[in-house]
Structure 1
Amino acid sequence: MSSGADRLLPALVHHIVNTLGWPGLRPLQAEAIDPLLDGSDAILLAPTAGGKTEAAMFPLLSSMEEQSWTGLSVLYICPLRALLNNLQPRLAIYAGWLGRTADLWHGDVSSGARKRILQEPPDILLTTPESLEAMLVSANIDSRRLFSSLRAVVVDEVHAFAGDDRGWHLLAVLERLSRIAGRPLQRIGLSATVGNPDELLRWLQGSQHSRPRSVVAPSGGTTTTPDITVDHVGSIDNAATVIATLHRGEKRLVFVDSRRRAEELGAALRAREITTFLSHSSLSADERRRSEQAFAEARDCVIVATSTLELGIDVGDLDRVIQIDAPRTVASFLQRLGRTGRRAGGTRNCLFLCLEESAVLSTAGLLERWGAGWVEPIVAPPHPRHIAAQQMLALALQENKIGTHTWREWWGDLPLFDEHQTEIFDHLLAEGYLERDGPMAFIGLEAEKKFGRRHFMDLLAVFSAPPEFTVLTGREEIGRVGDDVLLADNHDGPRVLLLAGRGWKVGHIDWKRRRCFVEPSDLPGRAKWGGSEGGLSFALTRSQRSVLLGTNPAGVRFTRRAASVLAELREKHSGDVADNATVFRRSSGELRWWTWAGIAANRTLQASFPRVVDPRQRTTDQSLRLQPDLSNNELLRTLSASAALSPPHVNKSALHGLKFSSTLPSELASETISERLADQRHAQFVLFEKRLFSQAEN
């Protein structure tokens, strides 16, 4: 056994060797033993399939026995129900070696199973943050009894939580659980490689920042060079032809950036008689499960997925990963690349199939950063004031009433709350979300009206979901379509949807219950979902500029088609890029500022210089269109004038995209969104860069 395993429970070591047949522990598993047994909070870092679950649970199981933990003592939290379902059998086996139990609690778990858990709580409970909070506020659950023995929390895929508002929600719920349990909870985060693990761990600790902490990230690992290829194919049909032709007899996982594209590619592959499965968030849970199970058991097949399969859900051994265009982050690419090369003698690989010429540049920029060993830092969204308001209401539900001057004690100094916390609380009182009774406050009529349906379940979900139709064939749910226009627009002939990679002819639409009844069809269907495109970061956009200036990503092969496109892009943008400088270029009566700063920095510059930047444009990552009649001197004078940068303007309609925005004063809600759209640091950086002027040839 590996060094350090002697501190694990002997019975556990016996099963690791004899039941699992492991000759030893992996480096991460060995290095995690001492800090976790010593009670430290920790971040455990390893690639996908790096043994992170065992690295966390083996020491916790040892502590459970040696310290005689009883009742529900460990929570295992995941961002996806499918990941929980995938992990529970494995954790139940490990716990069973010691006579312990591990069980599931989430929205798909039956009422009978829940009653059994409440009567006999397991030692380990696998769940989501939303389900945890639902337990805390439920009138049918004695949460103080259920969580009184809680000792430790494992947060799987912690980077996925920390990067959005679900992370703030998770931290707030953990603070409430710690107070109920009457002790600090050991917090263990599991993550793929991130650029700032120390900061991520401090964030995970919440108000427990005085506790010991340890980042466990063994060096080394695989030394095999990944096989990375970039190709330009021009269309979904061409991509389907390449996928159908290459690597026959192998299991291929194809990542796409949207549900619509997944459906289109799935249909194109099936038209070429390729065994194809789909996985995305608008398919029913049963449909996804069937696809993932069939794919895991098959050989010569393809599964087309959005980011739903980026996280650690097991779909068996893969031969190939194929990426349509580029993901938005290096971290996402690493997660997907880590899906391959798991078998002995296997090689990690990824084939990029670019549909647009611009995607070749995006891919090259991403791979340039990857080749340099850079990974994005994980940064929690700033100013989560709407989550603060949600937590005030959730606490009022949990406790039935809260002290108007003491409610803040539940969260310690968690930075969820800022200098506006009293203003938010007063707004909740003024608008009737809370009602005052002397020094106490309780849930008001406005909260009942807005969030009270289905036992306040809408209050417990951090994100707003757009109205969707459930699509059914007979009694079987296929999935959901999220755009009413798809069902209501005028056109000739039958209405055919594309869902689960197949065509479905629309029969009856139940508008009141939002159900759409369909039957199979051989006619071509349409896939359409709403959603806005996000931009790239400053770092990735700057890496595109480096590529245009001649930098080639290390360890990456470009096909002849992709290399030709890249050469053409370098020629096309030769007047738009300069080393350590931004470029102002006049061309065909247009003046454009090539900042290469990313969409958030460009939004900030656009808002800060309304006399210079044309407001009638769609902001992009690379450049801004300026007022064409400006002279060079006027431009320089305006940009050099000392003034504070302005946050982007927020349209009132954008407030609907911020869940719980109505629980904030309207100006504060707008300010919150605006601050999240901005990147003042990199906008300031651009303003201090050298400036060059370029004139396009006529």
Structure 2
Amino acid sequence: MTDGNGAASAVDRLHPALVHHIVNALGWRDLRPLQREAVAPLLDGEDAVLLAPTAGGKTEAAAFPLLSAMEEQRWSGLSVLYVCPLKALLNNLVPRLEQYAGWLGRRAGLWHGDVRQGARQRLLRQPPDVLLTTPESLDAMLVSTKTDHGRLFAGLRAVVVDEVHAFAGDDRGWHLLAVLERLQRIAGGPIQRIGLSATVGNPDELLHWLQGSGHETRPGRVVAPGVVLPDASSSQQGAPQEPPPGDIELDYVGSTANAATVIAALHRGEKRLVFCDSRATVEELGAALRGKGVTTFLSHASLSLDERRRAEAAFAEARDCVIVATSTLELGIDVGDLDRVIQIDAPGTVASFLQRLGRTGRRSGSTRNCLFLARSHDALLSAAGLLHLWGRNYVEPVTAPPEPRHIVAQQLLALALQEHKIGRVLWREEWNGLPPFDRGAEPILRHLLDEGFLERDGETLFIGPSAEERFGRRHFMELTAVFTAPPQFTVLWGRKEIGRSDPMLLTEKVEGPRVLLLAGQAWKVNWIDWGRRRCFVEPSDLPGKARWFGMAVDAATYALSRAVRDVLLGADPPVKLTQRATAHLAEARDRNLDLVHPGGTVIARQGDDVRWWTWGGYKANATLAASLGGLADASQRFTDAYIRLRSDLTPEMWREGTADAAERLCLPEVDDKALRGLKFNEALPPRLAAATLARRLADLESAAAILAEPTRFLRQN
């Protein structure tokens, strides 16, 4: 295993028994560039982020050096954690890591919510060397009275965070960081942190984030060989990007039914993965494809675990078939060799597109490909804007949500459960000085005491009655999950679980039988057990309905909205456009001709309807609507593209009202309904809960940039 690029020195540092099996069991003649370059920093104990496209060998790039270090440094007991955002991804990875560990006489084990109690008990009696798990399961182990976490985690030396970008961009990332700091206290020393990621726009910042409290004291490195850097004009300097693949096409189809017709007609005999960004669309498209005789499987979060596993296993073994999925199949879960990826409408980010694109082109001689099928003019513009960004080598930076005060409250309660009692002052040390879990958490601690979530006895704190009442069910399991899932009803055909349905679909008025669409099949509702949240069904030939409420796709960012404006101004994405897409893009440009201008923003009046076309994205427009005061209409209505203004607005009023607006930008207002979606909001003072959510709804930087642009007034007929 040598070549002229340093392979020999990298391989020589791996354990000889491991190299023997890499050559003879895997049949590898060489390591990939990422795997070679990761050996030295990981064996030297450096923190790292390893960047490569999907199926780029990241798991082995982390596992081989850590297993070598395990042998050379004689680590014992549970010494490596492998953390994933999805249980399905863990299930997919565990056979590989069991094999690699077994080559050295070591063991890998699995622990998450679907692992049976007997297997957990065996794992606690004989801990594996490598544990594959989720952050929620780690927190549950720490707070459980059945787990001796002091003994179990005492020898922890390293953690691998797979799909680290998926954590860093939401509250699960803050939760993960806080749990790792608590584990570091138990282990009594630094834990090496290794993140695995596909392409992101800010890899150095992502590494800094992953290092937590140790970013100033531990060396770190971004390992990303073979990437192409954007040109100097890119807004994300240093953002890695894959070489352009060979086959990306944008088409306009106008409806789900037409999308099914196109998919059924194209690429027969090939294995196709179709991404949709809602579960309802997955169901509708799946049913339409089956109606056309296409072998179709479905995968989304509201299908039962057995249903998803059957679909994914059957798809992996089949050839001429389609699997229709939400983002559940975006993150590296193996469904075999794919021929095609098809995207219905558009994902919300370039990073998500790259993840999906990376599911193809794995076989030698094949190219990465993706066909976009837009069902509306808005979807066509969003897809064109996204591909325009991608063509400029733009990838979104991954940023942690600001001011996670609710996660601070959750962690204080979790620590009290873990230690049974905590010191009134010493609690600050448990997160090793990591903000915001430091001295700045004092106001949240006082609220927890005032409201009975914590109780005090002298200088010690312990769980109070309010926490027992609110979070104590099922041994405080609700306390370990940092996101709120809407309540759903389990749908059963006899004793077989099909999946879960939104309760509003079971309560809305219908004429005739109530028929659900789930797992691509219509089901007639026979009986609903309201107390136990169960719905009993039987197959039906009647048309069914699929809908999940409150699960809207994320609103457009400033970058994406501005890219859509660029498309309306004439920019074409660097991909194949069908005749239909070209014609409908031309129609959209004609329709929006007066609402875009290369020199700034436009205020357009049509009768009493006055709109400021900022093309600023949802958060920037929310910030501007809240900051305009009397210039905005009374309801402060806005979209990604525009803000409604008062009907009697004049240019003079506008100039006077916005002269100093950039200096007095304020956060959007938050209503009570929105607050209920913030997990643990009741453990915060209402003022801090509202401030947390308001800050997350704002984009102050982009709002200020929009205000700095010239604005032209236009009267429409």
State whether TM-score is above 0.5.
yes
Distance 2:413 2:479 in 1: 8
Pair 1:339-2:359 in alignment: yes
Code of the aligned partner of 2:136: E
Pair 1:694-2:700 in alignment: no
What does residue range 325-474 of structure 1 map to in structure 2 within 5 Å? 325-417=345-437, 420-474=440-494
Code of the aligned partner of 2:672: K
Native 8 Å contact 2:601 2:712 kept in 1: yes
Distance 1:223 1:357 in 2: 29
Distance 1:618 1:122 in 2: 55
Code of the aligned partner of 1:215: V
Helix, strand or coil at the partner of 2:670: coil
Residue 486 of structure 1 corresponds to 505
Distance 1:388 1:335 in 2: 31
Helix, strand or coil at the partner of 2:593: coil
Deviation at 1:491, TM superposition (A): 2.1
Residue 222 of structure 2 corresponds to 215
When structure 1 is superposed on structure 2, of 518-527 and 417-426 the one drifting more is 417-426
Residue 622 of structure 1 corresponds to 641
Distance 2:380 2:419 in 1: 55
Deviation at 1:78, TM superposition (A): 0.2
Residue 233 of structure 2 corresponds to none
Helix, strand or coil at the partner of 2:527: strand
Deviation at 1:694, TM superposition (A): 2.3
Helix, strand or coil at the partner of 2:313: helix
Aligned-residue CA RMSD (Å): 1.2
- Superposed CA deviations along residues 639-665 of structure 1, whole A, max 9, x for unmatched, are 113541110011122211000000000
Distance 1:693 1:23 in 2: 66
Code of the aligned partner of 2:610: L
What does residue range 166-315 of structure 1 map to in structure 2 within 5 Å? 166-209=172-215, 210-220=217-227, 225-315=245-335
Pair 1:119-2:119 in alignment: no
Native 8 Å contact 2:492 2:535 kept in 1: yes
Residue 105 of structure 1 corresponds to 111
Code of the aligned partner of 2:650: S
Deviation at 1:181, TM superposition (A): 0.5
- Superposed CA deviations along residues 79-110 of structure 1, whole A, max 9, x for unmatched, are 00000000000000000110011010011111
- Superposed CA deviations along residues 314-348 of structure 1, whole A, max 9, x for unmatched, are 00000100000010000000000000010111111
Deviation at 1:619, TM superposition (A): 2.3
Distance 2:685 2:651 in 1: 43
Residue 58 of structure 2 corresponds to 52
Which of 622, 629, 632 pairs up with 1:610?
629
Distance 1:414 1:478 in 2: 43
When structure 1 is superposed on structure 2, of 5-14 and 120-129 the one drifting more is 5-14
Distance 2:171 2:583 in 1: 42
Deviation at 1:466, TM superposition (A): 1.3
Native 8 Å contact 2:112 2:134 kept in 1: yes
The verdict on how the C-alpha distance between 1:615 and 1:312 changes in structure 2, with shifts beyond 3 A counting, is: farther
Deviation at 1:224, TM superposition (A): 6.3
Code of the aligned partner of 1:524: P
Native 8 Å contact 1:168 1:416 kept in 2: no
Helix, strand or coil at the partner of 2:572: coil
The verdict on how the C-alpha distance between 1:225 and 1:458 changes in structure 2, with shifts beyond 3 A counting, is: closer
Distance 2:177 2:119 in 1: 27
Pair 1:31-2:37 in alignment: yes
Helix, strand or coil at the partner of 1:625: strand
Helix, strand or coil at the partner of 2:676: helix
Residue 668 of structure 1 corresponds to 688
Code of the aligned partner of 1:573: N
Native 8 Å contact 1:275 1:302 kept in 2: yes
TM-score normalised by structure 2 residue count: 0.96
Code of the aligned partner of 1:283: L
Q: Which runs of 5 or more residues in structure 1 are unaligned? A: none
Native 8 Å contact 2:428 2:439 kept in 1: no
Distance 2:44 2:150 in 1: 27
TM-score normalised by structure 1 residue count: 0.98
The verdict on how the C-alpha distance between 1:236 and 1:604 changes in structure 2, with shifts beyond 3 A counting, is: same
Native 8 Å contact 1:383 1:418 kept in 2: no
Deviation at 1:574, TM superposition (A): 1.6
Distance 1:469 1:414 in 2: 40
- Superposed CA deviations along residues 589-634 of structure 1, whole A, max 9, x for unmatched, are 3221111111100000000012111143642111111112111111
Deviation at 1:241, TM superposition (A): 0.5
When structure 1 is superposed on structure 2, of 166-175 and 7-16 the one drifting more is 7-16
When structure 1 is superposed on structure 2, of 566-575 and 669-678 the one drifting more is 566-575
Code of the aligned partner of 1:521: S
Native 8 Å contact 1:224 1:347 kept in 2: no
Residue 15 of structure 1 corresponds to 21
Deviation at 1:417, TM superposition (A): 3.3
Distance 1:536 1:331 in 2: 14
Native 8 Å contact 2:78 2:155 kept in 1: yes
When structure 1 is superposed on structure 2, of 135-144 and 578-587 the one drifting more is 578-587
Code of the aligned partner of 2:221: S
The verdict on how the C-alpha distance between 1:418 and 1:602 changes in structure 2, with shifts beyond 3 A counting, is: farther
When structure 1 is superposed on structure 2, of 540-549 and 658-667 the one drifting more is 540-549
Residue 154 of structure 2 corresponds to 148
Helix, strand or coil at the partner of 1:308: helix
Helix, strand or coil at the partner of 1:50: coil
Deviation at 1:66, TM superposition (A): 0.4
Helix, strand or coil at the partner of 1:360: helix
Distance 2:553 2:157 in 1: 41
The verdict on how the C-alpha distance between 1:580 and 1:416 changes in structure 2, with shifts beyond 3 A counting, is: farther
Distance 2:599 2:36 in 1: 45
Native 8 Å contact 1:655 1:669 kept in 2: yes
Which of 537, 559, 563 pairs up with 1:518?
537
- Superposed CA deviations along residues 514-540 of structure 1, whole A, max 9, x for unmatched, are 011111111111111112342111111
Q: Which runs of 5 or more residues in structure 2 are unaligned? A: 2-6, 229-241
Deviation at 1:225, TM superposition (A): 3.2
- Superposed CA deviations along residues 444-464 of structure 1, whole A, max 9, x for unmatched, are 000000000000001111111
Deviation at 1:568, TM superposition (A): 1.1
Code of the aligned partner of 1:216: V
